[in-house]
Amino acid sequence: MDAHTRRDRFEQIALSLIEPLRRFLARRTDPDTADDVLSETLLVCWRRLDELPAEPLPWAYGVARNCLANAERGARRQHRVAQKMAAVDRPAEAHAGPGEGDDRLAEAMASLRPEDTELLHLWAWEQLTPGEIAAVLDITPNAASIRLHRAREKLRTELRKVEQPAGHEGSRERREP
């Protein structure tokens, strides 16, 4: 592949990856880190252009995930996480969802292990199939399918707990009056 063809090919692929990657990162980190990790991820894509699979997006999500993990180990992390938390505490500007339901969902999600929430996010937010999730997490499609199934089960169980607290009347703050 000559230099010109290579540039054309990268541009074509990068343009198809940028928006999904931006959303992927916006869901998981603060805007500054998202920008940095987007650049790093595209840089890896450029360097490994010849190795990109036919469907590069799940692979690119996997790269972004690793770059993000590295970035978050960095020195800027604490400061930015504080900013992110401050931003999260403010009401969402759009698509706030069904208010009360969101709070309960957030509470249920918060009680899951990070691995499970990530699977559920890849499924619901990135809309990936188990095969694609497997490519992101570098596990087998079968394992992805089983883990996703279990994560959904756990979330449903947690949601039931949050929405119908057992016994102890009035013991939960979120309970409807």
Partner 1 sequence: MSDHDDGAGWDDDPELRARLRAADPASSLAPADPDRVTRLLEDIMDTHTETDLPIETRQTGTRGRSPLTWLVAAAAIVLIAGVGLFGLLNHGFDDDVPTAGGSQTVTKLRAPGHEAYQARCMVPTAETLSRQTLAFDGTVKEIAGGVVTLAPRHFYAGSPTDLVTVEAPDADLRALIQAVKFDDGGRYLVSATDGEVSICGLSAPYSQQLAALYARAFAAQR
- Going along the chain, which residue ranges are E strands? none
Q: How far apart are the first and last CA of the chain?
A: 68
- Least gap, CB of 47 to partner 1 (angstroms): 7
Name the residue nearer to partner 1 (CB basis): 11 or 172. Answer: 11
* Chain contacts with partner 1 (rule: CB under 8 A): 6-7, 10-11, 14-15, 18-20, 22-24, 26-27, 35-36, 38-40, 42-44, 46-49, 51, 53, 57, 59, 62-63, 66, 70, 73, 92-95, 97-98, 101-102, 105-106, 120-121, 123-132, 141, 145, 149, 152, 155-156
Name the residue nearer to partner 1 (CB basis): 48 or 79. Answer: 48
Residue type, 133: I
Burial of residue 128 (CB within 10 Å: 0-12, 13-18, 19+) is: buried
Who's near 144: CB < 8 A, 6+ residues apart?
119, 130, 131, 133, 134, 137
- Least gap, CB of 145 to partner 1 (angstroms): 7
